[in-house]
Amino acid sequence: MFSQTVEYALRVMIHLACQDGPVTTKQIAVVTKVPEGYLAKVIQALGRAGLVHSQRGLHGGSTLARPTAQITIWDVVNAIDPVKRIKECPLGLKSHGVNLCPLHKRVDDALDMVERAFKESTLAELLAEPTTSKPLCDLVRSEAAPSVKQAKLTVAARAVTGTA
């Protein structure tokens, strides 16, 4: 359902949500498995949407621009690849008139449900949701036990993808 770029953006946002301070593009790329060159473009788009703050320099990196409770999946998706609702017949058939045909009406209804669900789902909720699914991306772990932040990243990543 998502473009690869949206998938990358969701990985980035969840990773940043689990950090205490700025994270470099290189660090994000390693953890999220997003190509570093492409990652910069994703972070720029998230920044333009007011979701990520980036700072250059010695102590620079990227952080979330707002608290996780104020960032929805919808915000992230729209920043990268907005969901396009169907307002008129995509085939341009005049015989459909002003109303959508039954097929396109159902497709638009499904898009409406997705939109509502994404608008109601915040990063904070994803981080708090328990799950047993596989993580969105591999975590870089030290030999020590994973940190609470890493555990939250795994939980949130699993919730976003809905994968087992």
Q: Domain count of the chain?
A: 1
Q: What is the predicted pLDDT for the residue at 136? A: 56
Which CATH number covers residue 132? 1.10.10.10
In-domain check, residue 142? yes
In-domain check, residue 87? no
pTM: 0.75
In-domain check, residue 92? no
Say how many C-beta atoms besides its own lie within 10 A of residue 98's C-beta.
6
Domain span holding position 70: 4-82+124-161
> For residue range 5-42, what is the model confidence (pLDDT) as tens digits?
999 999 999 999 988 899 999 999 999 999 999 999 99
- From residue 74, alpha-carbon distances to 6, 57, 103, 119, 120 in Å are 11, 31, 24, 5, 8
